């Protein structure tokens, strides 16, 4: 598999899978509504609005209100998909997410669009590299970070089926469709081993999964067998899969998120207390300088080359 940076064809915008799934769910279930903060375009919800005009609620540029309105719609019996740029949906409305959604156990599905550093040059105000850390600490909200269109669809369907709060991180960065078995299934709380290996493990989620697979291929050529585990479900998290990965003796985590509080931290919390092993956490160290999303990922070593180098380093090879 070639790098997303160089392979422009065959890449997918996960927002398309999100809205296609939401429209299908909306056609089958009148309870499905979408709530937006003037973000019909950036959430790609124009089609949903045209099909179900009464069920697209645009509250304007008012994120605190948007999340509270979502909780109210859930109280009235709706399944509310609340969509906005992840940086504003989570950051601006964090207390509404905490009190109205997570603590209240409202049946609200928060869809954080264009998460991570997708907004590149727009800068740290528009990056969302803290969202998983913020929401993961609440415990009472399911946190999902899908890696490709198929998984995005599964996340949206699983969120709609369950009664309770969910946060789904939906990137706009082009990602390839990951290779999967025909009978692949998705379960909240279960990690997905995409490639077996025993010399070390690469745990990744979201846009980083394809890079982890590419790193494992590179390492295989050198005779290093690296397991690749897709950690879409951040909360609840698959402790068994993490402990099994620790048995290989070396874990590299990689996420389009801050190195503080995200996937790496979650894995370290479990590994350090149960099966300590060598670890390297790849992600963003803090607020990012000016640059495109792809530049920023390279700048912080979120590349297949550096993932491979990191595991090599842990193995002393």
User: Which stretches of the chain bind another protein, using CB under 8 A?
Assistant: 33, 35, 54-55, 57, 59-60, 62, 64-78, 80, 95-96, 99-100, 103-106
Tell me whether residue 74 or residue 304 sits nearer to another protein (CB atom).
74
Query: Over 233-265, what HEC string results?
Result: EEECCCHHHHHHHHCCCEEEEEEEEECCCCHHH
Cα–Cα–Cα angle for 90, 270, 296, rounded to 5 degrees: 45
Cα–Cα dist 226/224, whole Å: 6
CB of 36 to another protein, least distance (A): 12
CB of 110 to another protein, least distance (A): 14
Instruction: State the DSSP code for 175.
Output: E
CB of 101 to another protein, least distance (A): 10
Q: Which of 188, 272, 191, 261 is nearest to 231 (CA)?
A: 191
C-beta separation of 199 from 225 below 8 A: yes
Tell me whether residue 62 or residue 244 sits nearer to another protein (CB atom).
62
Q: Which of 282, 305, 312, 307 is nearest to 222 (CA)?
A: 312
C-beta separation of 228 from 264 below 8 A: no
Tell me whether residue 57 or residue 177 sits nearer to another protein (CB atom).
57
CB of 298 to another protein, least distance (A): 39
Tell me whether residue 100 or residue 214 sits nearer to another protein (CB atom).
100
CB of 34 to another protein, least distance (A): 12
Tell me whether residue 71 or residue 155 sits nearer to another protein (CB atom).
71
């Amino acid at each position: 598999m070639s790098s997303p940076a160089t392979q422009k064809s065959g890449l997918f915008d996960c927002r398309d899978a999100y809205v296609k799934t939401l429209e299908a769910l909306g056609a089958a279930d009148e309870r499905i509504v979408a709530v937006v903060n003037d973000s019909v375009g950036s959430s790609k919800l124009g089609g949903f609005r045209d099909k179900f005009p009464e069920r697209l609620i645009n509250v304007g540029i008012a994120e605190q209100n948007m999340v509270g309105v979502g909780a109210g719609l859930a109280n009235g019996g709706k399944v509310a998909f609340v969509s906005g740029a992840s940086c504003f949906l989570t950051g601006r409305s964090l207390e509404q997410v905490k009190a109205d959604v997570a603590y209240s156990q409202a049946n609200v599905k928060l869809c954080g669009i264009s998460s991570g550093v997708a907004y590149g040059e727009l800068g740290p105000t528009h990056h969302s590299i803290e969202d998983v850390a913020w929401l993961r600490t609440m415990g009472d909200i399911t946190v999902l970070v899908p890696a490709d269109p198929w998984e995005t669809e599964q996340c949206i369907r699983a969120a709609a089926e369950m009664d309770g709060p969910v946060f789904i991180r939906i990137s706009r960065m082009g990602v390839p469709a990951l290779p999967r078995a025909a009978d692949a299934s998705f379960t909240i709380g279960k990690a997905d081993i995409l490639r077996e290996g025993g010399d070390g493990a690469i745990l990744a989620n979201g846009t980083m999964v394809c890079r982890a697979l590419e790193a494992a291929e590179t390492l295989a050529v050198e005779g290093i067998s690296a397991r690749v585990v897709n950690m879409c479900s951040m909360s609840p998290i698959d402790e068994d899969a993490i402990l099994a990965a620790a048995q290989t003796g070396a874990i590299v985590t990689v996420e389009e998120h801050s190195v503080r509080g995200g996937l790496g931290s979650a894995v370290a919390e479990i590994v350090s207390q149960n099966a300590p092993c060598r670890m390297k956490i790849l992600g963003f160290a803090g607020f990012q300088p000016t640059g495109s999303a792809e530049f920023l990922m390279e700048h912080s070593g979120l590349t297949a080359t550096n993932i491979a180098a990191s595991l090599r380093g842990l193995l002393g090879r």
